[in-house]
Amino acid sequence: MQAFANPLQKGGKGMFFIKLRYLCAFRLLVKRPIFCTDIEEEQELNRKHLIVFFVILSRFLRNKRDILLSLQHDNETIMNITKEIRRRIAGFSEDYVFTASDFEIDTQNQSAVVKALNRMVKSGEISKLAKGRFYKPRRTQFGELKPSAYQIAKDYIERDGKLIGYITGYSAYNALGLTTQISSYIQIGTNKSRRSVKREKYTISFILQQNPITKKNIEILRILDAIRFIREIPATTPNDACLRLKEIVRDLNDEQREMLVKCVAKYTNYVRALCGAILEDIGCNDSLLESIRKTLNGVTEYKLPISESVLPTKQNWKIYEPTRK
């Protein structure tokens, strides 16, 4: 019986198929006929395979080196930017709210600025108010104090050096001595309607103001807003609020009173009536009172929970308590 040839023996059928399988595996790397049994041609083929392998390897290593160098450069950039940011933050007042744009660093490095700021938050050097907004904390023996209402909402108050809004509502009532309550609600008077926004635990809402907003009339607008929302001022009563408002208006000079009368013309009728009653009660001149009366029809009655003992002139302006039949 004829013996089978050793498949691994040189020149045997097994070696032929091993060569064929090897050539098929590398056929995509070199453009040579795959059916090749010539030793020299096979060596040439192997040499080309090695060349392709080392070319790919060298490119991989070069890319890896470039990546490492890039990462090293990025870390150095962030460290340098962090030093510059620390230097500038040291000059900020406590509770000052800032963003990445406050540091005037090249646009291409803005991402590095954000990374540096986030690292400083983790280390406790600064605190984060909301996404992209940070502040220099004021620390006391009772803990860290939050920024003022102005700092929290200042991007809705000023833009590019132009006044576009003003703090009113609860913060203003507190500053005017109308209430002692502090709220997490921040109200902004503005000439454009806007939806409320959330900033961490704070809610910023907007009150439409018909008058132009200027630095000269902001205090007057806050007084008129308090008259407008006299029934909603927290931790007080309309009577107590009215007594305090009379003191505030009494302290206004003639120019400010004229501005009060001018601005109240853009408010609703009951605000004008109550403002007129307060001005008459503190002895304001008749010409200003007449300016307000001309804007009212003289027939409409206004239901406000303010007693006659607090505001004796209220009936002259058709203001009555809601319980009156």
> Averaged over 144-165, what is the pLDDT?
92
- pLDDT given for residue 246 in this prediction: 97
Q: Which residue has the tokens 């009772």?
A: 142
The better pLDDT of the pair 5, 60 is held by 60
- pLDDT given for residue 3 in this prediction: 40
Nearest Cα residue to 201 out of 154, 158, 146:
146
The torsion region of residue 178 among left (phi > 0), alpha (psi -120 to 50) and beta comes to: alpha
pLDDT per residue over 162-177, tens digit each?
Answer: 999 999 999 999 999 9
Please answer whether residues 168 and 153 qualify as being in contact, where contact means their C-beta atoms are separated by less than 8 angstroms.
no
Tell me the residue length of the chain: 325
* 129 vs 199: CA distance, rounded Å: 7
Least confident of 2-11, 163-172, 237-246, 295-304: 2-11
pLDDT above 90 for 214: yes
Q: Which residue has the tokens 């931790």?
A: 235
pLDDT above 50 for 19: no
pLDDT per residue over 35-64, tens digit each?
Answer: 455 666 666 666 666 666 656 656 655 655
Element (H, E) at 97: strand 97-98
Pairing assessment for the beta strands 138-140 and 133-135 based on DSSP bridges: unpaired
* Helix boundaries (H) for 146-215: 149-153, 169-175
- pLDDT given for residue 315 in this prediction: 95
Domain edges within the chain:
13-135, 148-320
Amino acid letter for position 54? F
Residue 224's alpha-carbon distances to 189, 205, 236, 278, in angstroms, are 11, 18, 17, 12
* 317 vs 310: CA distance, rounded Å: 14
Pairing assessment for the beta strands 202-208 and 185-190 based on DSSP bridges: parallel
pTM above 0.85, yes or no: no
* 220 vs 223: CA distance, rounded Å: 5
